[in-house]
Amino acid sequence: MGMTVRPLGSTGLQVTPVCVGTSPLSNMPGLYGYEVAVEVATATIDKALDGPVNFLDTSNNYGAGRAETLIGEVLRRRGGVPAGFVLATKVDADAATGEFDGERVRRSVEESLSRLGVDHVELMYLHDPEAHLTFEQAMADDGPVAALADLREQGVLGHIGVAMGDLDMLAQFLRTGVFEVALNHNHYTLLDRSADALIEDACRRGIAFVNAAPYGGGILAKGPEAQPKYAYRQASDAVLQAVRGMQEVCSRHDVPLQAAALQFSLRDPRIASTVVGVSDPARIDETLAFAAADLPEHIWSELTSLTPTTDLWLS
């Protein structure tokens, strides 16, 4: 099954519309409710590297470095990152102290390079700065953004992006002209369009927009009975009702709700790629099948009519 690549903004990179997310492979049962064995995780990474997806997302602090370590083990066995494959990771605050200054960014990059077994990362994101810093602190001369820009200048990093949930601060970062890619999660799904203006702004600036969590943390994959939370918080009755309505629409058209949720993101030409977290090799095949599923065009107007009102979107 082939996938047509898309430009990653103005970086010059070409990426598939689906990006494999490795957060579930880091074995965080407190977050996901299940464990992932090492052999399953490494088999999943192998599967991802075999194609047709050419974009993989991870982070310094996923499982206290477990995800990067396992990716690195697979890359060493395979002789490095495959040609044309885009490996993205993220700098994170110190997990123990919360420190997130320029020096911490340099240590985070060093840790990632060591775990991954590489001397260069094509795409590095600043990850969740809103949890630790104000915008002014992030942009200080000795702050994390300056350190990332310097590492890009040195050639250690090919391109830099910012990955976070807070839309207002993310918009501030895009206005600096420093970042080439923006990653946001849960704010652009069948249930929420709150990132729409930011996506438009990113496109105007030539900044790639990467959309994560198309299933809203699972509710659009498992359904509201199995997963009554949206974006890791209890969903309102109105949101639960909307999902049930969307399930009914998809059932009537004999298509999986997961396919509609994924394709809602994939069909938007403004979105360079959509990150889908996977927990085993079969999930990659399943995701590709959802991406390729044939959905009738009129299903989108029916699903849109069920979208919750703006007051129920994430702030």
Measuring CA to CA, which residue among 279, 294, 302 is closest to residue 70? Answer: 279
pLDDT at 78: 98
pLDDT at 315: 79
- Give the CA-trace dihedral at 276, 279, 282, 284, to 10 degrees: 20
Question: How many angstroms separate the CA atoms of 270 and 197, rounded?
Answer: 11
Higher pLDDT, 305 or 232: 305
- Give the CA-trace dihedral at 19, 22, 25, 31, to 10 degrees: -110
Q: Which of 25-39, 62-76, 85-99, 229-243 has the lowest mean pLDDT?
A: 25-39
pLDDT at 30: 67
Find all residues with CB under 8 Å of 144, minimum gap 6, and list them: 91, 100, 101, 102, 104, 105, 126, 129, 133, 138
Residue-wise pLDDT tens digits, 235-283: 999 999 999 999 999 999 999 999 999 999 999 999 999 999 999 999 9
Pick the CATH number of 11-312 from 3.20.20.100, 3.30.565.10, 3.40.50.620, 3.40.50.300: 3.20.20.100
Residue-wise pLDDT tens digits, 281-291: 999 999 999 99
Element (H, E) at 233: strand 233-234
pLDDT at 40: 96
**Three-state DSSP class for 110?**
helix
Q: Where are the domains of the chain?
A: 11-312
Length of the chain (residues)? 315
- Model confidence at 1, pLDDT cuts 50, 70, 90, reads very low
Residue-wise pLDDT tens digits, 157-198: 999 999 999 999 999 999 999 999 999 999 999 999 999 999
Percent of the chain with pLDDT over 90: 95
Total-model pTM: 0.97
pLDDT at 2: 59
